[in-house]
Amino acid sequence: MSPPLPDLTHDDYTIACICPMGVELAAVEGMMDEQHPNIPSSIDKNTYTFGRMGVHNIVVAVMPEAGNDRAAAVATQLSNDFRSIKFCLLIGIGGGIPDLARDIDIRLGDVVVSWPSNRFGGVVQFDRGKDHSYNQFERTGMLQKPPDILLSTVQRLEALHARVDSRIPVFLEEMLARFPKMRKRNYVYQGATKDQLFWMEYEHIGGTDCGNCDSSQTVEREVRDDSTPMIHYGTIGSSNVVIRDSVKREILKADLGILCVEMEAASFINNFSCLVIRGICDYADSHKNKAWQPYAAATAAGYVKELLSLIPSL
């Protein structure tokens, strides 16, 4: 019989996680080593899940709907409710932007982690900025770089992965063993044959999947040895608009060098020191569908669990 959980208060939670949708919340909850009871409060406007991942007590908020505006409201309330939060992790799914010319071979189920560059702090809001003369557009929405403890731990984990395999597949199997129903809900690898990157000029034929699309129009990529997700570090593009246009995707890639697109991260510019973790569920083109979303959410949550395992108690 497990020992009773200690009585915890808002101040006992030091790490905040924000999930845009229920598909990501389920993955984060599935990765928890322990789930805590709710903490009664008369002031909370958000809905929270409490638990432990490794040595860390984490509080998880899920958004009522996607978009930067709603994420900002959730983040502001979260910062007011939990004064001991050291940093925030935005865990979710996103559209991948492969760049095979630069050997950036992003696949479905891979994980993209926001990382500062000379231009951006890890995230750029590509639909926010200033118009200048000669049709020049200056993007002004940029996330500040994450706190040093996250930056150093991310680099430790990247160095570790240069020597040994990521533990994400292990965490996924542990989650599925505890919650077998998640396997039926597609929180499993969908198979290489269902990971199709179509040429930019080829539009989706129709339907909820690509069963009617011409597979000869897919980009030929090297076969991977196994299904272990790759981790990519770089700039993430954020906006209030869903991108499902391969031409727009390629323009953003050429202009900003981003690795994926999503819809919430830029709202955290003025709220938290934040790291953004995105599991890749589509290629931001007309072939976009929901088949890979649960698995992508799970790989992102698995990365978070592996990252937190390297951070001592805060």
- Average pLDDT of the segment spanning 93-110: 97
pLDDT of 91: 96
CATH assignment at residue 157? 3.40.50.1580
Range of the domain at 181: 10-308
Q: What are the pLDDT digits (tens) for 255-306?
A: 999 999 998 776 665 556 789 999 999 999 999 999 999 999 999 999 999 9
- Mean pLDDT over each residue of the chain, to the nearest integer: 89
- Average pLDDT of the segment spanning 191-196: 95
pLDDT at residue 15 tops 80 = yes
Residue 3 lies in a domain: no
Residue 141 lies in a domain: yes
Model pTM score = 0.93
Q: Which pLDDT band, with edges at 50, 70 and 90, does 76 fall under?
A: confident
Provide the token pair at 262.
């999503």
Residue 313 lies in a domain: no
Share above pLDDT 90 across residues of the chain, in percent, rounded to a whole number:
71
Q: What are the pLDDT digits (tens) for 288-300?
A: 999 999 999 999 9
Residue 163 lies in a domain: yes
Residue 2 lies in a domain: no
Residue 82 lies in a domain: yes
- Between the ranges 37-51, 142-156, 282-296, where is the mean pLDDT highest? 282-296
Domain count, the chain: 1
Residue 300 lies in a domain: yes
Q: What are the pLDDT digits (tens) for 16-30?
A: 999 999 999 999 999
Is 81 in contact with 61 (CB distance < 8 Å)? no
Is 31 in contact with 302 (CB distance < 8 Å)? yes
Residue 5 lies in a domain: no
pLDDT at residue 132 tops 90 = no
